[in-house]
């Protein structure tokens, strides 16, 4: 009898399992229900909760977090709940999964190339929408909004800009007999400075201090080369983003210059861990994102200036990314949430926030009025002027941007490894990019 009882218990467990499994298989209609449930839980005690997911860790995310606290105290009926998610590709998986099941946060931030991927799934804003919330596009760096414009509407809010700039080590400059107040401003200066900074400091016959250094294999996506190319009058894709355009004289020259830092001028070692190299004073000048600066504070005596004009057609142009807010489609239908979200966005886009966020975290504002305060900042001043004067450009926002970045990264790697001439490498890459672009139509 014992055995029958045992069998019975087991069977019962199994029945439960099958109930569970069938509920899964026949639960197609639950998505809508879940959406409704999601709304219900979002409004405790008369407060409107705005859920915000961020991909930014320290310093951007942490500085943002502490500023949001101020917003929440100033707006007692709104609670912005910020949640920092891991940096890296996994963040986008999480966003997509949450959109798939209708549980996306009310706001999530993405990078500059991402909006094109989310067009069908996020809210768009007309000029009227924005001006109703007190945002006038003319108050901002125009290029920022233009990058988000698809079919006459704006997909996303450009809350800040991350340009790349030139970091230089003032102490190493001084030791090399260079003026620590002045960074190189053109190609020949950059190379001359690089040569002075490249030396053997301990006299063992091996060079242990370098003029500059390229980011390593993993991050090699071609931003620096792209900046050279744009300065030289080229561009990554054609005007309507349907074909590769980098396989041009401008692109090839730019790639040759980039590789020549290592090969011809010998001012750069093999690609490596650039931030660690700069922080430990082994490299005199690096080109990197401006918001990385807080990591170097207290470790090296450094300055940041705008990208030198490696070519003169479009001087100082530098690649930039953006921090963009997106909201899932349908948020507009929930009037309370929409209003709270727009209030939050208005605050983020205001001069006060934009200015103090730049000073706190190193992200450049998109609001023009915030630049005036930054221009006198010893570290950020020159970069602020670059943006205010429109010397930044953004990568094209196309559906398969990440895949195109990979192709470009491979091309950069091939060039540095000496696997063919610049025109051959770029020609091959351009065919691959064309294939990717053709597939997404």
Partner 1 sequence: MSQKKWKIRNLHKFLLWIFITVISILFLLPVLWMILSSITPNNVVILYPPRWIPKHPTLINYIKVFTTTETTPVGRALINSVIVTFPSVVLTLLVSSLAAYPLARMKFKGKKFLLLLILMGLMIPLQVSFISLFLIFNAVGWLNTYQALILPAVISPFGVFLLRQFFISIPGELEDIAMIDGCSRFKILFVIILPLSVPALSSLAIFAFLGSWNSFLWPLIVMSDPNMMTVPVILSYYLYTLAGLREWGSIMAVAVVASIPTIIVFMAFQRYFVQGIATTGIKG
Partner 2 sequence: MGKIIKGSGLFKKTISPYLYLLPFLAFYFILQLFPLVQNFYVSFTEWDMMSPEKPFVGLFNYKTLFFKDYLFWGSVWATLHYIFLNVPLKIVIGLGLALLLNQNLKGKTFHRVAIFIPFVLNTAVVGLLFRWILDPQFGMFNYYLEKVGLGPQKWLIEPKWTMEIVVLVTIWWSIAFNAIIYLAGLQGIPEELYDAGKIDGCNAWQRFLHITLPGLKNTTMFVVIMQVIGSFQAFGNIYMLTGGGPLNATRVLMLHLYEVGFYYFRMGQAAAISVIIFIIVLVLTIIMLKFFREETE
Choosing from 87, 150, 217, 265, the residue that interacts with partner 2 (CB under 8 A) is 217
**Shortest Cβ 217–partner 2 spacing (Å):** 4
Output the 3-class SS for 197-247. Answer: HCECCCCCCCCCEEEECCECHHHCCCHHHHHHHHHCCCCCECCCCCCECCC
* Cβ closest to partner 1, residue 69 vs residue 431: 69
**Shortest Cβ 436–partner 2 spacing (Å):** 9
Residue 198, Cα to own-chain centre: how many angstroms?
Answer: 31
Choosing from 50, 197, 257, 277, the residue that interacts with partner 2 (CB under 8 A) is 277
Q: Which of 57, 38, 60 is nearest to 49 (CA)?
A: 38
The DSSP secondary-structure symbol of 318 reads E
Q: At what angle do helices 223-231 and 249-263 cross, to 10 degrees?
A: 130
Q: Tell whether residue 216 is a contact of partner 2 (CB under 8 A).
A: yes
- Name the binder of 271 from partner 1, partner 2, none, CB < 5-8 A by kind: partner 2
Residue linked to tokens 């994102």: 289
* Cβ closest to partner 2, residue 2 vs residue 239: 2
Our CA angle for 355, 356, 359, nearest 5°, is 90
**Shortest Cβ 34–partner 1 spacing (Å):** 7
**Which residues, listed in sequence order, are joined to residue 79 by a DSSP beta bridge?**
49
The DSSP secondary-structure symbol of 255 reads H
Say if CB 303 and CB 180 are below 8 A apart.
Answer: yes
Q: Which of 269, 273, 275 is nearest to 290 (CA)?
A: 275
* Cβ closest to partner 1, residue 296 vs residue 371: 296
- Name the binder of 378 from partner 2, partner 1, none, CB < 5-8 A by kind: none
- Name the binder of 217 from partner 2, partner 1, none, CB < 5-8 A by kind: partner 2
The Cα–Cα gap between 340 and 48 comes to: 7
* Cβ neighbours of residue 289 closer than 8 Å, sequence gap 6 or more: 162, 163, 164, 165, 321
**Shortest Cβ 282–partner 1 spacing (Å):** 7
How does DSSP assign 37-85, residue by residue? HHHHHT--TTPEEEEEEE---TTHHHHHHHHHHHHHHH-TTEEEEEEEP
Number of residues that bind partner 2 (CB under 8 A): 49
Q: Tell whether residue 434 is a contact of partner 2 (CB under 8 A).
A: no
- Name the binder of 299 from partner 1, partner 2, none, CB < 5-8 A by kind: partner 1
Strand bridging mode 283-289 / 364-365 = unpaired
**Shortest Cβ 159–partner 2 spacing (Å):** 23
The Cα–Cα gap between 425 and 23 comes to: 54
**Shortest Cβ 382–partner 2 spacing (Å):** 28
- Name the binder of 188 from partner 2, partner 1, none, CB < 5-8 A by kind: none
Say if CB 378 and CB 297 are below 8 A apart.
Answer: no
- Name the binder of 132 from partner 1, partner 2, none, CB < 5-8 A by kind: none
Output the 3-class SS for 104-134. Answer: CCCEEEECCCCHHHHHHHECCECHHHHHHCC
* Cβ closest to partner 2, residue 259 vs residue 380: 259
* Cβ closest to partner 1, residue 77 vs residue 83: 83
Restricted to residues 369-428, the positions that interact with partner 2 (CB under 8 A) are: 400, 402-403, 406, 410, 413-414, 417, 419
Q: Which of 172, 166, 158 is nearest to 187 (CA)?
A: 166
The Cα–Cα gap between 32 and 61 comes to: 32
- Name the binder of 61 from partner 2, partner 1, none, CB < 5-8 A by kind: partner 1
Q: Tell whether residue 181 is a contact of partner 2 (CB under 8 A).
A: no
| Interacting residue ranges for partner 1, rule: CB under 8 A | 2-3, 6, 20, 23-24, 27, 30, 34, 56-62, 65, 83-84, 86-88, 90, 93-94, 97-98, 100-101, 103, 274-276, 278-280, 282, 288-289, 291-296, 298-299
Upstream peptide bond of 406 is cis (omega within 30 degrees of 0): no
In the shown chain, the binding pattern of residues 84 to 123 toward partner 2, with x for contact by CB under 8 A and - for none, equals -----xx-xx--xx-xx----------------xx-xx--
- Name the binder of 30 from partner 2, partner 1, none, CB < 5-8 A by kind: partner 1
Say if CB 195 and CB 211 are below 8 A apart.
Answer: yes
Q: Tell whether residue 21 is a contact of partner 2 (CB under 8 A).
A: yes
* Cβ closest to partner 1, residue 169 vs residue 235: 169
Say if CB 324 and CB 363 are below 8 A apart.
Answer: no
Choosing from 270, 299, 313, 336, the residue that interacts with partner 2 (CB under 8 A) is 270
The residues binding partner 2 (CB under 8 A) are: 3, 7, 10-11, 13-14, 17-18, 20-21, 24, 89-90, 92-93, 96-97, 99-100, 117-118, 120-121, 206, 213, 216-218, 269-273, 276-277, 280, 282, 400, 402-403, 406, 410, 413-414, 417, 419, 432, 435, 439
């Amino acid at each position: 009898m014992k055995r029958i009882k045992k069998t019975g218990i087991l069977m019962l467990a199994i029945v439960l399992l099958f109930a569970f499994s069938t509920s899964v298989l026949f639960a197609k209609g639950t998505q809508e229900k879940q959406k409704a449930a999601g709304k219900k839980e979002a409004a405790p005690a008369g407060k409107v909760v705005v859920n915000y997911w961020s991909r930014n860790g320290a310093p951007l995310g942490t500085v943002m977090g502490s500023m949001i606290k101020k917003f929440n105290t100033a707006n007692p009926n709104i609670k912005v709940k910020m949640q920092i998610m891991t940096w890296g590709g996994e963040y986008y998986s999480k966003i997509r999964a949450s959109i798939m099941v209708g549980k996306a946060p009310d706001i999530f931030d993405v990078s500059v190339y991402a909006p094109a991927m989310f067009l069908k799934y996020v809210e768009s804003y007309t000029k009227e929408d924005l001006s109703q919330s007190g945002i006038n596009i003319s108050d901002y760096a125009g290029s920022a909004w233009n990058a988000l414009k698809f079919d006459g509407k704006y997909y996303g809010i450009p809350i800040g800009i991350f340009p790349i700039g030139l970091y230089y080590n003032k102490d190493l400059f001084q030791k090399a007999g260079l003026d620590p107040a002045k960074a190189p401003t053109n190609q020949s200066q950059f190379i001359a400075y690089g040569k002075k900074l490249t030396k053997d400091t301990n006299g063992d016959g091996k060079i242990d201090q370098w003029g500059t250094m390229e980011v390593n294999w993993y991050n090699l996506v071609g931003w620096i080369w792209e900046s050279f190319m744009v300065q030289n009058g080229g561009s990554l894709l054609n005007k309507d983003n349907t074909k590769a355009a980098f396989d041009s004289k401008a692109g090839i020259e730019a790639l040759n210059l980039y590789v020549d830092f290592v090969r011809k001028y010998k001012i750069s070692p093999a690609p490596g861990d650039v931030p660690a190299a700069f922080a430990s004073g082994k490299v005199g000048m690096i080109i990197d994102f401006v918001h990385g600066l807080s990591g170097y504070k207290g470790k090296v005596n450094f300055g940041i200036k705008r990208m030198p004009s490696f070519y003169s057609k479009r001087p100082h142009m530098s690649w930039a990314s953006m921090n963009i807010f997106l909201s899932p489609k349908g948020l507009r239908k929930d009037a309370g949430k929409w209003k709270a979200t727009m209030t939050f966005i208005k605050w983020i886009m205001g001069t006060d926030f934009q200015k103090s966020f730049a000073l706190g975290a190193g992200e450049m504002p998109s609001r023009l009025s915030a630049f005036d305060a930054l221009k006198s900042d010893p570290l950020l001043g020159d970069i602020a002027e670059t943006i205010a004067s429109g010397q930044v450009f953004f990568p094209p926002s196309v559906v398969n941007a990440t895949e195109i970045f990979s192709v470009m990264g491979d091309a950069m790697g091939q060039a540095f490894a000496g696997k063919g001439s610049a025109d051959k490498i770029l020609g091959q890459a351009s065919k691959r990019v064309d294939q990717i672009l053709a597939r997404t139509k």
